[in-house]
Structure formats: C-alpha cells, structure tokens
Amino acid sequence: GRTVHSLINAMVRYPNIHFILISPDELRIPDYLRQEVLVDGNIDFIETNELEKYMPKLDILYMTRVQRERFFNEEDYIR
C-alpha cells in the first residue's frame, strides 16, 4: 500500500540499504516503484513470498494488513 511505497522512497536515501520485500504475488510493489526507485537507483532488493525463509535475515520487519477493499471478491481476499 501507500505506506510501503513511502517507506521505500524514504529508506533508499540511506547507504547500503537492502530490501527483502515479502508478499503474495498479487500484492507485489508496482512496476513503476520497482523500476524507477529500486532498479534505476541501483538498490539491492529481492521479492519473495517466503516469510519463514527470510525472517532470520531481517533487521526490521514492517507489516501492513491485507486491505479487503482492494479485492474484488471474498475468495481472493481469504486466499
């Protein structure tokens, strides 16, 4: 969501930053943010859906709720 986008934009100003972006495939960061901020800014990052695998590697964990209003039907939200 918007808070994650703002946080990424703020954090890329720090040296030696590395992002592990964990989310379901359907909720990945938008292409423009990935390209214009991370790729073009030469920021080290990975995208994954494996929370358990990457949890030990995190210095900071920032979590947001899944926003029900972003889904078209209840089945997709529950999944």
Q: Find all residues with CB under 8 Å of 51, minimum gap 6, and list them.
A: 22
Q: Please write the tens of the pLDDT for every residue from 10-67.
A: 999 999 999 999 998 888 999 999 999 999 999 999 999 999 999 999 999 999 877 6
Superfamily for domain range 2-78? Aspartate/ornithine carbamoyltransferase (3.40.50.1370)
pLDDT reading at 78 higher than 60: no
What is the predicted pLDDT for the residue at 71?
54
What stretch of H or E contains 74? helix 74-78
- Residue 41 to residues 55, 61, 64, 71, Cα–Cα distance (Å): 25, 22, 24, 31
Domain spans, the chain: 2-78
What is the predicted pLDDT for the residue at 27?
85
pTM: 0.79
| Cβ proximity of 55 and 63 under 8 Å | no
pLDDT reading at 79 higher than 60: no
